[in-house]
Amino acid sequence: MLPRLLLPIACVAAPATASPVAIAVQGLNGAPLAGAVVTLEVPGRAAPAARGTYQVEQRDIRFQPHVTIVPVGATVAFPNRDKVRHHVYSFSKSKKFELKLYGREEARSVTFDKSGPVALGCNIHDAMQGFVFVAATPWAAQADAAGRVRWADVPAGRATLKVWHPTIRAPGNTLSQAVAVGAQGLQTTLTLRR
């Protein structure tokens, strides 16, 4: 059975003005699911245009940062800060690429033109794992240590709330839920359930 999201707290109807949204994510065991990427897709609101450069460093045989949220169309540089060489690849549907062996202070760039999570691996170092989350909405954020995400300016109306985390056993490691953001905003706790 695939995990699904429960919304035990009632939504409050809100005017079309911007409203605050606070989401808390809890894992299967009830603990806050820190690091989960929560997105709220509002119909008619595309992701903002990419501004500047994003980068995911390979430092200390790790991807830094571990999860990088970028808007659709963003170009992400993969500079190698280690002395060893890396072979960064992704088999994710939203972006398949391969940056063949490159050394220290070399940088490669990849443009992510489709939304969705992109799992980053290194063919040399199996333990290295990182994610570039390509968001198609302005409201995409990573849950803090308490599993919380806050937005202040979400327009009221119907929206799709999605939670991604590598440990979620679901296609694309993503669960989605339709929600309505009221004039007073939305405050809810998402709990992963089997």
The binding site for other proteins (CB under 8 A) comprises 89, 91-92, 96, 119-123, 126, 128-129, 166, 169, 171, 173
In the complex with other proteins, which residue's Cβ is closer, 129 or 187? 129
Taking the least distance from each CB to other proteins, the nearer of 35 and 121 is 121
In the complex with other proteins, which residue's Cβ is closer, 131 or 151?
Answer: 131
Residue pair 90/82 in contact (Cβ under 8 Å)? The answer is: no
Tell me how far apart the alpha carbons of residues 191 and 47 are, in angstroms, rounded to a whole number.
26
Choice between 62 and 81, CB closer to other proteins: 62
| Helix or strand (DSSP H, E) at 110 | strand 109-112
Q: What is the 3-state secondary structure (H, E, C) of 19-81?
A: EEEEEEEECCCCCECCCCEEEEECCCCCCCCCCCCEECEEECCEEECCEEEEECCEEEECCEC
What distance in Å separates the CA atoms of residue 141 and residue 111, rounded to the nearest whole number? 20
Smallest separation (angstroms) from other proteins to the CB of 35: 13
User: How near is the Cβ of 175 to other proteins at its closest, in Å?
Assistant: 14
Q: How far is the CB of 119 from other proteins (least distance, A)?
A: 4
Shortest CB 184 distance to other proteins, Å? 37
- Contact indicator for 64, 34 with CB cutoff of 8 Å: no
Which residue lies nearer to other proteins by CB, 91 or 104? 91
Q: Least distance to other proteins from the beta carbon of 177, Å?
A: 20
